[in-house]
Structure 1
Amino acid sequence: MDWNALKLFLAISEGGSLAAAAKKLGVNHSTVFRRLNSLEQDLGGRLFERHTHGYELTSTGKGIMTLAQNIAKEFDNLERRVLGKDATPSGVVKITAPNNIAYHFLPRYIAEFHQHYPDIQIELLVSNQEFNMNNRQADIAVRATPNPPEHLIGKALCEISWGVYCGEGYAKKYSPPKKLDTLHQHKLISGSGSMIDLPSFSWLEKNVPEKIQVRCDDLVSMSYFAEADLGLAFLPDDQQRPGIKRLFTYTPAAKSKLWLLIHPDLRNLQRIKLVMQFLASSFRKDERL
C-alpha cells in the first residue's frame, strides 16, 4: 500500500462515501471507485461493506485502520518539520478566522501585507468551526477564546469585552437603556443553537425570555438585526462597526482574548512568522479593538 492508497482508504473511512472521499482528495467519483477496487485486489480482501447509506469498514478494514491513522500522522509530522525549516518568504499561508474578523478586519490587513510580501499567497478559510491544525487544514488560526487549545502556540492580542448594541433608528425612536435592570423595557436579540449555552445568552433566557424578539446562531447576523432596529443585540466588541451603537458593557458575558495560533512545528517557517508578526501588529494598532 503506497501513500496515495493510504490517503484513499482514510478518506473513504472518514467520509463514509466515495463522493465525500472524492471531494476531499480533489478527484472524481469514478477515480475513487477504481482506486478502491485496485487496492482491495492488491490486498486480497474487501476493506468496506457497500450499503445504500454509505461505506462501512469490514473487519479487515478495521484491522488496518489504526495502523493507517498512525502512518498518516507520521507523514503529517514529517511534512510540518520539513516545512518548518523552509526559509523562503514565498508560498501559501492558510488562515482560518471567524466571520466577523474575516469580513471587517483581515481584508485591509492582507491588502497591506501583500504590498510588502507579494510572493506570499494568503488563503482565507472563513469559519467559526475549529480546523485541524495537525494536518495543516490551516496554518494560522485567529480565534477569540479564553482558553486556546494546549497543542497550539501563539500570541494573545487583546482582551475582548461584550457590549449592548442597537441600531441608529432604534436609538432615536426609544430611550436606549444604560444598565441591565432596564432591559425588560426593550426588544432583545438572543442566541440560538450552540450559542444558547454562552453566558451572554443564557442570562437573557433566564431573566428576560419574554422580551426576546428573534434568535440567531451567528454574531454577525445579530449585528445586522440590531442595525435593522429589531432590538438590542449583545455582542463582543470586535463586532463594532458603523450602523450600530454601543450602549454599555454587558457584564453577564465572559471576557475573552483574541489569539493568533499556530502548530509548534511551523514556528520557524519564515512565511508563517512574517504573516503572524504582521497580523499581530495590525490587530494591536486597530482602534476598533
Structure 2
Amino acid sequence: MDWDKIRLFYEVAEAGSFTRAGEHLGLNQSSVSRHISALERELKVPLFHRHARGLILTEHGDILFRTAQDMLRRIETTRSQLVETNELPTGNLKVTATVGIGAMWLARRVSEFLNLYPEVRIQLIVTNEELDLAMREADVAIRLRRPSQPDLIQRRLFTVHYNAYAAHSYVERFGEPTSLEDLDNHRIVCLGGNQPSFILAVHQLATMGRDPKDPRPRHFVVNDSLALRMAIESGAGIGMAPAYSMEGNPNVTQVLRDVETPSLDSYMVYPEELRSVARVQVFRDFLISKAQRWAH
C-alpha cells in the first residue's frame, strides 16, 4: 500500500469528511474523494459509509485507521529520537495528571522545568480519568496507583498523604475536633461525583470511624479537588486534602493529627517506546528530583 494514500485516508477518517480533510491538506473535495475511492478499489473493501452528515468508518476502515494511527505514532517517535540530543531536548510533551497533582503540585513547578529546557513545550491534561498512553492520548502520566498495562515504564515518585484540614475561621467558630467521634458535631465537606473509587475513598470523613451504612451528613460535596480545597480554606467545614496542597497555607490548620489517615503512592508512567526520547528523560529526572522531599 502507498503510504501517501494511507496518510490521506487517515486525515479523512480524522476529519470525518472529504471537504474538511481537503481543507487541511490543501486539496479540493473531489480530489480527496477520488483518492479514497482508488484506495478502496485497490484494497477491494469499502472504508467508509457515506452519509449526508459525514463519513463513518466501516469495519475494514476501522482496522486500517488503527494501523495508520500506529504507523504515524511510530514515525513520530522515530523522528523524535533522530532529531533530539540529550544536550538539547526539544519538541512537544503531552502530560496527564490527576486534578490535585496536576493543578496543585506539577503546575507550580513547570516554570522551573521550562526555564531549564526552553525548547520543550508541555501540554498538561488535568483529569482523574486514566488516558490511554498506548494510543498516545498522552506521552507521560502521573497517577495515584500502579499502571495495569504491562508495556508501560513506571517510576514511583512520592507518597501522597491525606490529612483532615479546617480553616482557622472554622475552628474559631465551631472548635477543633480531637477524635473521629467529635466529627459527628461538625460540618463535613468532601469530594464526590464521578471519580475513581480509590480517590473517593481517601476523602470520606463521613464514614471514618463509623458504619459505612450510617455515614455522617455531608454538608458540601464537590467533584473537583481544587474547589474542595477552596471550600475548606473559606471555612465551609472539615475535609480531607493532600498534604502538598495545604503546606504553607496560612488560612488552614491540620486537625485530627493523632488519627491515622490514608495515603496513596504516585507514579510517573510512560510507554516503553519513549524510553530514549530526550524530553521524556529530562522530564522524568526533573520530577524525581522534585519528589525527593515527599518521597516518604
After TM superposition, the score normalised by the length of structure 1 is: 0.77
Contact persistence 1:199–1:252 (CA under 8 A): no
Post-superposition offset of 1:55: 4.9
Secondary structure of 2:219 counterpart: strand
1:50 and 1:173, CA in 2 relative to 1: closer, same or farther beyond 3 A? same
Please list the CA deviations of residues 96-149 of structure 1 after superposition, one character each: whole Å capped at 9, or x if unmatched.
Answer: 223333333334422223333333333333333333323434322222225564
C-alpha distance in 1, partners of 2:28/2:180? 58
Aligned-partner Cα distance in 2 for 1:272–1:107: 17
**SS at structure 1 position matched to 2:125:** strand
- Shift in CA distance, 38/176, structure 1 to aligned 2, threshold 3 Å: farther
Q: CA–CA distance in 2 between the matches of 1:229 and 1:167?
A: 5
Q: How does 1:104-119 map to 2 (within 5 A)?
A: 104-119=104-119
Structure 2, gaps ≥5 residues long? none
Percent identity, aligned pairs only, is 17
What are the residue-to-residue correspondences of 1:1-289 with 2, within 5 Å? 2-11=5-14, 37-42=33-38, 43=40, 47-50=48-51, 55-57=55-57, 61-84=58-81, 86-88=84-86, 89-92=88-91, 93-147=93-147, 149-195=149-195, 197=197, 198-200=200-202, 204=206, 206=212, 209=215, 211-241=217-247, 242=249, 243-248=251-256, 251=260, 253=262, 255-285=263-293
Distance 1:113 1:157 in 2: 17
CA contact (8 A) 1:109 1:279 kept: no
| 2:277 alignment partner AA | L
Structure 1 residue matching 2:283: 3-state secondary structure: helix
Q: 1:124 to 1:171 in 2, by over 3 A?
A: same
The residue type paired with residue 48 of structure 1 is H
Q: Distance in 2 between matches of 1:271 and 1:200?
A: 33
Matched position secondary structure for 2:206: helix
Q: Read off the aligned partner of 2:85 and give its amino acid letter.
A: A
What one-letter code is carried by the residue in structure 2 that aligns with 1:47? F
TM-score w.r.t. structure 2 length? 0.76
Equivalent position SS for 1:77: helix
Amino acid at match of 1:90: P
2:171, 2:152 → 1: CA distance? Answer: 43
Give the root-mean-square deviation of aligned CA atoms. Answer: 3.6
Structure 1 residue 260, shift from structure 2 partner = 1.6
Select the structure of larger CA radius of gyration. Answer: 2
Offset, 1:281: 0.2
2: CA distance, partners of 1:258 / 1:182: 31
CA deviations 1:204-250 (Å, max 9, x no partner) are 36355452112111111111111121111122333324133221367
Report how many aligned residue pairs link the two structures.
276
- CA change 1:202–1:114 in 2 (3 A) is closer
After superposing the two structures, state which structure 1 stretch, 91-100 or 197-206, moved more: 197-206
Distance 1:187 1:196 in 2: 24
Instruction: Give the number of the structure whose residues are more often helix, by fraction.
Output: 1
For structure 1, list consecutive stretches of 5 or more residues without a partner in the other structure.
Answer: none
SS in structure 1 at match of 2:253? strand
Deviations 1:167-203 (A, max 9, x none): 2211111122223222211111133222384323567
Whole-angstrom distance in 1 between the partners of 2:37 and 2:147: 48
